């Protein structure tokens, strides 16, 4: 350990922060190697292990009010998050809208979310919640929140709030990297699909002496007739030189 880290480790609570930093260090590599969802699941495991009082945790991403990513530690977090979607209220909803951190130690009696608080406490036994919005880079249409739940009243004090903020910062970076990786994957697939379609159109144009529009129409009709994706039909044509449903000598 370096001299600087030794000094830091002697301060109250710093040892725990260093342990959390060590636990979070490999997660960025996992986004590249294994995909982002596994790294985000690991982030929630760290949250449950390191945030005092935490029992369940969930991370939700919404694109234009539609949930596109949901990572939860257990069924309690899943149902608690979905109750917020169903009622349109809750600390996670407000955190997403206001970009603030929300903490409650008595959801059933909290006047900010009376309906959700009563339901989540009665159905799931949740008493305390710590919810905050994650900062996403280059994602203007996406909003993400991290919510941590506990069945104990007044579970989240200053230490929990501080640790939750640290995890939210790392979670923001991980989620940004995950979404960027997803976009890159989709773009690569789209480019590959377009290349296959272009090759197939060229083959059909040459073989049947048709225009580009006519060649594309032939692919589209075959896609509809055989109930297959256009890219899959194009791939067959690129591999075989034959449009499905046509004899090799036909026009």
* Domain 3-185 class in CATH: alpha beta
pLDDT tens digit string along 185-211? 555 566 667 778 888 888 888 888 899
**Alpha-carbon gap, residue 182 to 192, rounded angstroms:** 15
Cβ atoms of 60 and 145 within 8 Å: the answer is yes
**Alpha-carbon gap, residue 54 to 73, rounded angstroms:** 11
* Domain 190-240 class in CATH: mainly alpha
Domains of the chain, by residue range, sit at 3-185, 190-240
Cβ atoms of 95 and 145 within 8 Å: the answer is yes
pLDDT tens digit string along 76-134? 999 999 999 999 999 999 999 998 899 999 999 999 999 999 999 999 999 999 999 98
């Amino acid at each position: 350990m370096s001299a600087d880290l030794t000094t830091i480790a002697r301060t109250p609570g710093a040892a725990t922060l260093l342990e959390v930093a060590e636990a979070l260090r490999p997660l960025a590599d996992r986004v590249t190697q294994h995909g982002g969802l596994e790294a985000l699941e690991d982030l929630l495991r760290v949250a449950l292990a390191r945030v005092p009082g935490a029992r369940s945790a969930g991370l939700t991403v919404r694109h234009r009010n539609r949930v596109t990513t949901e990572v939860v530690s257990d069924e309690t977090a899943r149902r608690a998050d979905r109750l917020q979607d169903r009622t349109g209220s809750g600390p996670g909803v407000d955190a997403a809208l206001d970009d603030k951190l929300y903490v409650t130690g008595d959801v059933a009696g909290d006047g900010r979310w009376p309906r959700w608080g009563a339901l989540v406490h009665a159905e799931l036994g949740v008493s305390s919640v710590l919810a905050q919005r994650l900062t996403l880079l280059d994602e203007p249409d996406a909003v993400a929140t991290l919510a941590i739940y506990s069945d104990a009243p007044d579970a989240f004090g200053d230490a929990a709030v501080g640790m939750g903020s640290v995890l939210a910062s790392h979670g923001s970076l991980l989620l940004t990297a995950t979404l960027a990786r997803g976009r890159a994957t989709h773009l690569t697939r789209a480019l590959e699909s377009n290349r296959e379609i272009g090759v197939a159109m060229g083959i059909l144009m040459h073989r049947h002496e048709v225009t580009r529009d006519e060649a594309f129409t032939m692919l589209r009709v075959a896609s509809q007739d055989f109930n297959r994706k256009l890219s899959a039909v194009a791939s067959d044509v690129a591999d075989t030189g034959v449009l499905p449903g046509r004899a090799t000598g036909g026009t």
